[in-house]
């Protein structure tokens, strides 16, 4: 949900003590308390095709929409489909494949899809509204990170670069397959591990890239951060693609708009990777140092695609530093 944060400032702020997260807090989903021990987590995400296989696109869209509920520590239970479809140009059977892909992921998540809405649209679009629930005391947000906390990332970066390479036919569908597997992997077990091991702040890494979403944690928590770029997990081939100028526009925008103090020895390929706009990326978690071993062990046991400490939270408010082998650990 957070992707539209800048535009959503036009949504009037509503003074209601039951609003636990909304557009103003730059969190991943809106959270509303409906009882002392229950809050609803509500999010919506949709986008144009990023892969050639219809079912894979549906599965990615579903995993991506669910992710904002997991990033808040919530358990998704209801979903609705959002569809824009060029009915004169593309067969409805193909839309059926998109929905089947999404339904498979929703089943895996234990989340019911109860309906949806479609419009005729010259460009196909697909996504979902997802409703989840969370105990108000167990909410994971961007706020709460403290100096000294370590930063852990649960999926490698590079899906935006690979999707652009696929669109430009620089890579094949077979070469895209590892990125599709990552994008359809649920953040459910990563979120469970986060909740069990004292995580102080969490978000999923999507359109604003690692540095953009880290920027939200830094801003909301009133802290700074250091990233060791040599520890950032990367999809094989992504760095090389940036040197061939295969870079999504959103990634360039992120790099230009997020204030980062780059160390001179961080290459432009590495900077683009840190800014790469992800779809259905992993969770970025802040965890106290004395809890990190337990968190990493839980992530390894859950076989999350990555389970790597990539940096730490610092006491310099608003300052993000990215360097190489900075001896954080």
Residue 38, token pair as written in the block: 């229950």
The rounded distance, in Å, linking the Cα atoms of 192 and 188 is 6
Residue 264 CA: distances (Å) to CA of 192, 224, 233, 261, 306: 38, 19, 20, 9, 27
228 binds Co ion (CB under 5 A): no
- 61 versus 246: smaller Cβ distance to Co ion: 61
The rounded distance, in Å, linking the Cα atoms of 167 and 328 is 37
- 203 versus 323: smaller Cβ distance to Co ion: 203
Q: Which of 28, 149, 276, 312 binds Co ion (CB under 5 A)?
A: 28
CB of 206 to Co ion, least distance (A): 5
The rounded distance, in Å, linking the Cα atoms of 46 and 61 is 7
DSSP state, residue 104: H
202 binds Co ion (CB under 5 A): no
45 binds Co ion (CB under 5 A): yes
How far the first Cα of the chain sits from its last, in Å, is: 33
Part in contact with Co ion (CB under 5 A); list of ranges 145-153, 196-204, 214-222, 224-232:
196-204
68 binds Co ion (CB under 5 A): yes
E strand or H helix that includes residue 283:
strand 283-287
134 binds Co ion (CB under 5 A): no
- 22 versus 68: smaller Cβ distance to Co ion: 68
204 binds Co ion (CB under 5 A): yes
E strand or H helix that includes residue 166:
helix 159-167
The rounded distance, in Å, linking the Cα atoms of 191 and 203 is 10
Part in contact with Co ion (CB under 5 A); list of ranges 27-35, 130-138, 143-151, 153-161:
27-35
Residue 245 CA: distances (Å) to CA of 107, 230, 240, 251, 270: 38, 21, 9, 12, 13
Compute the half-sphere exposure of residue 159: CA atoms within 13 Å on the CB side of its CA: 27
CB of 52 to Co ion, least distance (A): 23
How many residues make contact with Co ion (CB under 5 A)?
A: 6
Q: By C-alpha distance, which of 96, 105, 159 is closest to 130?
A: 105
CB of 16 to Co ion, least distance (A): 22
- 204 versus 228: smaller Cβ distance to Co ion: 204
Task: Provide the mask over 147-186, with x wherever binding to Co ion is found by CB under 5 A and - wherever it is not.
Answer: ----------------------------------------
CB of 21 to Co ion, least distance (A): 11
- 204 versus 312: smaller Cβ distance to Co ion: 204
Q: Which residues bind Co ion (CB under 5 A)?
A: 1, 28, 45, 68, 204, 206
């Amino acid at each position: 949900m957070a992707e539209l944060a800048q535009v959503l400032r036009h949504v009037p702020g509503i003074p209601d003590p039951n609003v636990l997260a909304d557009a103003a807090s730059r969190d991943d989903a809106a959270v509303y308390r409906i009882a002392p021990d229950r809050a609803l987590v509500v999010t919506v995400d949709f986008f144009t095709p990023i892969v050639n296989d219809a079912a894979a696109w549906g599965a990615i869209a579903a995993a991506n929409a669910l992710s904002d509920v997991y990033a808040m520590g919530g358990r998704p239970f209801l979903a609705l489909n959002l569809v824009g479809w060029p009915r004169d140009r593309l067969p409805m059977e193909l839309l059926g494949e998109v929905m089947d892909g999404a339904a498979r992921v929703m089943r895996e998540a234990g989340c019911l899809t109860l309906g949806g809405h479609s419009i005729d649209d010259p460009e196909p679009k697909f996504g979902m509204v997802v409703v989840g629930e969370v105990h108000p005391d167990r909410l994971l947000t961007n706020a709460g990170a403290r100096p000294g906390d370590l930063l852990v990332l649960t999926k490698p970066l590079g899906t935006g670069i690979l999707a652009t390479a696929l669109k430009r036919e620089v890579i094949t569908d077979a070469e895209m397959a590892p990125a599709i597997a990552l994008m359809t992997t649920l953040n459910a077990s990563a979120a469970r591990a986060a909740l069990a091991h004292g995580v102080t702040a969490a978000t999923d890494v999507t359109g604003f890239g690692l540095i953009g979403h880290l920027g939200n944690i830094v801003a909301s928590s009133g802290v700074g951060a250091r990233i060791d770029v040599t520890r950032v997990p990367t999809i094989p081939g992504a760095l090389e693609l940036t040197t061939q100028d295969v870079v999504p526009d959103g990634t360039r925008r992120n790099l230009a708009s997020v204030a980062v103090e780059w160390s001179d020895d961080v290459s432009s390929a590495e900077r683009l990777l840190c800014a790469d706009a992800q779809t259905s990326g992993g969770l970025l978690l802040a965890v106290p140092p004395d809890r990190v071993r337990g968190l990493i062990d839980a992530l390894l046991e859950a076989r999350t695609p990555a389970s790597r400490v990539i940096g730490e939270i610092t006491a310099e408010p608003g300052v993000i530093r990215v360097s190489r082998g900075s001896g954080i650990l």
